[in-house]
């Protein structure tokens, strides 16, 4: 029987003591919202090991040549859907979502949303910076 000072004082076999220890993971999340898709990824913080992710394509709208727009509601919905799916993935892996200690965001820096204060709905589609080649 393996014992350490804690288990020896209490006459508890080490194997039983180890079964009671819960190893806590420290996870980092990343929201990556780009012009072609939205992703939510989760990594283990110490090792950088990939844990789970989900990705959804987002639609681009071309109202005329050289113009590209996106629907802000679709962007919001894809972000929340990706987070919800990753939450389900973590639950199925028996990993509490509370293990995620931080979430970073990569987004479209040049894009601005104009919304109605009363309804919270966007007033316009999002114009995107696009290069014509």
pLDDT digits 0-9 by tens, 12-53:
454 544 455 556 789 999 999 998 999 999 999 999 999 999
pLDDT 10s digits, 74-114: 999 999 999 999 999 999 999 999 999 999 999 877 777 88
Instruction: Report the CATH fold assignment for 25-109+118-127.
Output: Nucleotidyltransferase; domain 5 (3.30.420)
H helices present in 1-133, as ranges: 5-10, 14-20, 72-92
- How far is Cα 87 from Cα 95, in angstroms, rounded to an integer? 9
Q: Where are the domains of the chain?
A: 25-109+118-127
Q: What is the pTM of this model?
A: 0.74
For residue 28, the cross-strand partners are: 43, 102
């Amino acid at each position: 029987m393996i014992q350490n000072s804690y288990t020896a004082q209490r006459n508890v076999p080490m194997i039983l003591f180890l079964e009671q220890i819960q190893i806590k993971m420290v996870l980092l999340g990343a929201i990556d919202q780009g012009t072609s898709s939205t992703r939510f990824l989760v990594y283990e913080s110490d090792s950088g090991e990939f844990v789970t992710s989900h990705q959804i394509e987002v639609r681009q709208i071309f109202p005329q040549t050289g113009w590209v727009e996106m629907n802000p509601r679709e962007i919001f919905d894809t972000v929340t859907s990706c987070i919800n799916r990753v939450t389900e993935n973590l639950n199925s892996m028996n990993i509490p979502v509370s293990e995620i200690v931080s979430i970073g965001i990569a987004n479209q820096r040049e894009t601005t949303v104009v919304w109605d204060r009363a309804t919270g709905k966007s007033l316009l589609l999002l114009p995107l910076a696009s290069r014509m080649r």
